[in-house]
Amino acid sequence: MQSNIDGDFLIKIPIEDFKDSVVLIFSYIVMETKEVEVYKTKSDLKIEMILSDALLGSIIILKTKKKNIFTRVGNLFQ
């Protein structure tokens, strides 16, 4: 299945597979899995996914300041 740029998509469920309700399971690599029960009478749903806490962690970015040539030469004599 694919979604458009807005995240909209269409799922067609054959009526013979639809008793009173079906459960749809949504998952994505950095999101928490979400189960949604869908009934025959519902047509449009808004599914909002939540970022997984397991994948959110501390990110440390180290950036060193590039020293100019005078500082590098001066460090040789320390």
Between these two residues, 55 and 14, which has the higher pLDDT value? Answer: 14
Query: What SS3 class is residue 56?
Result: coil
Assess if residue 75 is contained within a domain.
no
Give the single-character DSSP code of 47.
Answer: -
Assess if residue 77 is contained within a domain.
no
What's the structural domain count of the chain?
Answer: 1
Assess if residue 19 is contained within a domain.
yes
Write out the two tokens for 27. 């998952």
CB 21 within 8 A of CB 38: yes
- Across 1-78, the runs of DSSP E, i.e. the strands, are 21-26, 34-39
Tell me the pLDDT tens digit for each residue of 51-75: 887 655 656 666 667 777 777 777 7
Residue 61: the pLDDT is 66
Residue 42: the pLDDT is 63
Mean pLDDT of the chain, nearest integer: 78
Q: Which residue has the tokens 């808004």?
A: 46
Assess if residue 6 is contained within a domain.
yes
Assess if residue 63 is contained within a domain.
no
Does the predicted model carry a pTM greater than 0.85?
Answer: no
Assess if residue 67 is contained within a domain.
no
Q: What is the span of the domain harbouring residue 11?
A: 1-52
Residue 8: the pLDDT is 85
